[in-house]
């Protein structure tokens, strides 16, 4: 497949042309290789890796070191795919200077093409400072997992008029601050359509309906590899978890029966060398 790596300018052009942007998460080299071979436009190295890969109960414990480690692995594989890396919790809230430093680390040390952070008006000036420093920033509104406790848990947001108006205002402020795109998570489809029409930057939806400029899913949700729970907005395009379980059962059965390894899986000595060994 002939695939050309996107740029921010091309992403904006896709919005103007009405061409949908395809984004998926990836957290390691093998999965990123497969994604890079697909028509996916963008990879998100999300702090969701805390729950999906590292087994945390939330995204809050994820560190900068973990984000850089996983981003490096993905970037090694994703030669033709635009890579966005999440700024983890408390890596950008303490000060603007620290936010710029950590965003720069994800590009300089991690190799990402852009960073993503959560929040609206409260982080607009931080977004502006990071963008002025020459670091592309993607915003994230609606359900923001890093602060899910304050939002009442992992549930849909902005479902009344007042909250919806606040989100529309936040989206405008993030665009004005220099965000090049915006993730909208777990909000009403009608609200996402309003935001998408009002902004000149692309919107990427996850649980935000079909009217966004693009969509993003957690890879492990899409492939049926995450067993703990499946969000309402996730669609399983495969059930690889079941396939893996069946493969492991077959492996254990063959080992128990001594049918694996078979002759084709073994290395052999020449007979004369074996005779010398036995004579010795």
Query: What's phi and psi for 8, nearest 5 deg?
Result: -60, -35
Q: Which residues contact 270 (CB under 8 A, 6 or more apart)?
A: none
Task: List beta partners, residue 114.
Answer: 84
Measured CA to CA, the distance from residue 31 to residue 217 in angstroms comes to 14
Which member of 66, 118, 175, 185 is catalytic? 185
Task: List beta partners, residue 21.
Answer: 214
Number of residues that make up the chain: 280
Question: 273 in helix, strand or coil?
Answer: helix
Q: Is 66 a catalytic residue?
A: no
Using the structure block, give the residue that is written with the tokens 């990123």: 32
What are the DSSP calls for 135-204, one per residue?
--EEEEEES-GGGTTTTTSS-----SHHHHHHHHHHHHHHHHHT-SEEEEES--HHHHHHHHHH-SS-EE
Residues 214 and 23: beta-carbon distance below 8 Å = yes
Q: H-helix or E-strand containing 42?
A: strand 42-45
What are the DSSP calls for 59-119, one per residue?
STT--HHHHHHHHHHHHHH-TTSEEEEEPPTTSSSS-HHHHHHHHHHHHHTT--SEEE--B
Active site residues: 185
């Amino acid at each position: 497949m002939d695939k050309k790596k996107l740029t921010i300018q091309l992403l904006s052009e896709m919005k103007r042309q009405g061409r949908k942007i395809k984004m998926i998460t990836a957290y390691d080299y093998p999965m990123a290789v497969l994604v890079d071979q697909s028509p996916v436009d963008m990879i998100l190295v999300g702090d969701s890796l805390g729950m999906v890969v590292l087994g945390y109960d939330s995204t809050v414990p994820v560190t900068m070191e973990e984000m850089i480690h996983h981003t490096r692995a993905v970037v090694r594989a994703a030669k033709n795919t635009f890579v966005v890396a999440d700024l983890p919790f408390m890596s950008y809230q303490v000060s603007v200077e620290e936010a710029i430093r950590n965003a720069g680390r994800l590009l300089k040390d991690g190799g990402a093409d852009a960073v993503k952070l959560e929040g609206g008006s409260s982080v607009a000036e931080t977004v502006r400072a990071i963008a002025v420093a020459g670091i592309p920033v993607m915003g994230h509104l609606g359900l923001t997992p890093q602060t899910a406790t304050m939002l009442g848990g992992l549930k849909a947001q902005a479902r009344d008029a007042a909250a919806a108006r606040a989100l529309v205002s936040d989206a405008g402020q993030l665009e004005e601050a220099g965000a090049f795109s915006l993730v909208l998570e777990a909000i009403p489809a009608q609200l996402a359509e309003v935001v998408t029409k009002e902004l000149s930057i692309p919107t990427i939806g996850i649980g935000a309906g079909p009217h966004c400029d693009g969509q993003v899913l957690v890879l492990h949700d899409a492939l049926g590899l995450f067993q703990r729970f499946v969000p309402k907005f996730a669609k399983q395009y495969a059930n690889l978890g079941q396939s893996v379980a069946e493969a492991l059962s077959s492996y254990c059965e063959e080992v128990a029966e001594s049918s694996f390894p078979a002759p084709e899986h073994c290395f052999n000595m020449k007979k004369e060398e074996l005779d010398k060994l036995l004579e010795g």
